[in-house]
Amino acid sequence: MMLLISLAITVALVASWGASLGVLGEHLDFWWELALLVVIMLLGHWIEMRSLAQTISALDSLAALLPDEAERLDGEEIVTVHPGLLRVGDVVLVRPGGGVPADGRIVDGAAEMDESMVTGESRTVRRGAGDKVVAGTVATNSGLRIEITATGEDTALAGIQRLVSQAQNSSSRAQRLADTAAGWLFWFALGAAVITVLAWALLLGHPDDAVTRTITVLVIACPHALGLAIPLVVSIATERAARGGVLVKDRLALESMRTVGAVLFDKTGTLTRGEPTVLQVEPAAGRTADEVLALAAAAETDSEHPLAKAIVRAAGERSLDVPRAADFSSSPALGVTATVAGRRVRVGGPHLLAEERQRELEVADR
């Protein structure tokens, strides 16, 4: 593609210089046409590069899951280092709400881990001493001490990045066919240009017209549309899929999706979005749903737990007036406690109900 268009631009440039210097006829002055051709080519490649840059941003979003800094334990001291400087065997401290900097094994502590970036499941998973954790996951409610077992390219997150990169670099069947066709079209176009020069310059005796016709053949026969369209479309499709949480391992598989009539999902009963959402609020007698949600959102405002974020987000979506909370504290496996408008508010799960000697409301399924 580039060779044909380069030949056309070169011939037009030489002809235009010759016309400007008076060596060739004035009708061979193609400066405006040449400028327009260059602008069109550059615009097409700019659009291509912009789309590819957006595709690469999917890899950047995966890399952004890692924390910018890690707290490594050196004896009794805590040293802040870049995650890339961690080595197998190092012990790092992950604070509540912090991300795991590398794959490892918990040596002290227990926490509810948000592993949605790996599993897609919005529900947190309880991890304790001896359990393995993956880089990029988040300790939502408690601190952990983790012994690093894998770093850099050996982590699970790096493996996911490799899958996306391989999908971007792989070629689909249609793309391979287009590349083959573009290769043959180049030789046909080059042969047609040579025949045009010989026919108009030698046989018909019109060398000036030979230049015009040759440039026309090279520009028209250039397979840019054929060579750029398919890779561009596949790159955009891969990028949009990655943004939607779908990692394409092979572009051949992406191309064959047009023939799929049914999809089987290997999930534990449901398909999830990777984040919890408040669907229903059932207040006890004497309270409205909005009042309960506003109090819960106030108490959960400072919490990093995914369920807390869902409650706060739901209150915002309903445009509720969320009061300011004070004396916030969090207890692993129980929940949070805060003072809201002079009242003590606790938000948690079954363990909190048991501690408060309360029973869960009997709510009919809707």
Q: Which residue type does 229 have?
A: A
**Residue from 68, 154, 209, 266 carrying the catalytic annotation:** 266
The model's pTM: 0.53
Residue in the block written with tokens 């659009």: 47
Across the chain, how many H-helices and E-strands are there?
A: 11, 12
- For residues 131 and 101, the answer to whether their CB atoms sit within 8 Å is no
Q: Which residue type does 144 have?
A: L
Instruction: Name the 3-class secondary structure at 327.
Output: strand
- For residues 284 and 361, the answer to whether their CB atoms sit within 8 Å is yes
pLDDT digits (tens, 9 = 90+) for 210-235: 777 877 777 777 766 666 666 677 76
pLDDT digits (tens, 9 = 90+) for 107-134: 988 888 888 777 767 678 889 888 999 8
Residue 62 or residue 190, greater confidence: 190
Q: Are strands 138-139 and 111-114 parallel, antiparallel or unpaired?
A: antiparallel
Q: 132 is written with which tokens? A: 């393995």
Q: Is 29 a catalytic residue?
A: no
Residue in the block written with tokens 């970036």: 117
- For residues 193 and 7, the answer to whether their CB atoms sit within 8 Å is yes
Q: 109 is written with which tokens? A: 């502590």
Instruction: Give the pLDDT band of residue 272 (cuts 50, 70, 90).
Output: low
Residue in the block written with tokens 């819960």: 296
> Is the four-CA dihedral 159, 163, 164, 165 of positive or negative sign?
positive
Q: Which domains does the chain have, with CATH numbers?
A: 2-61+164-243 (no CATH), 70-159 (2.70.150.10), 289-355 (3.40.1110.10)
Q: Above 90 in pLDDT, residue 192?
A: no
Instruction: Name the 3-class secondary structure at 244.
Output: coil
